[in-house]
């Protein structure tokens, strides 16, 4: 189930936050990881990560971030 896959990925990101792809073109400090057909966008804070969005990877990511 995709929800449990996303949850598992978030647990991994909490331990290794820099594993995601750097996406500064979408926002300062933005990073992303893929889970199935979804993309998790997040920022690394001092002692945690902040999930900014979870989008279907088939969407126009740049257009979605301009909304």
Domain ranges of the chain: 2-65
Nearest to 57 by CA among 28, 43, 40, 25: 40
Q: H helices within the chain, ranges in order? A: 2-15, 61-65
What integer pLDDT is reported at residue 25 of this predicted model?
94
Residues 14, 44: Cα–Cα separation, whole Å? 9
Give the C-alpha separation, 27 to 24, whole Å: 5
- Write down the CATH superfamily of domain 2-65: RelE-like (3.30.2310.20)
pTM, 2 dp: 0.92
> Over the stretch 4-54, which tens digit does the pLDDT of each residue have?
999 999 999 999 999 999 999 999 999 999 999 999 999 999 889 999 999
pLDDT of 60 reads: 96
CA dist 67 → 27, 40, 42 (Å): 13, 17, 17
Per-residue model confidence (pLDDT) at position 67: 82
Please give the pLDDT value at position 3. Answer: 95
């Amino acid at each position: 189930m995709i929800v449990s896959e996303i949850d598992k990925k978030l647990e991994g990101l909490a331990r290794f936050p820099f594993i995601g792809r750097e996406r500064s073109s979408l926002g300062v400090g933005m990073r992303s990881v893929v889970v199935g057909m979804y993309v998790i966008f997040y920022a690394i804070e001092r002692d945690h990560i902040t999930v900014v969005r979870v989008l279907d990877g088939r969407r126009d990511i740049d257009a979605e971030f301009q909304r």
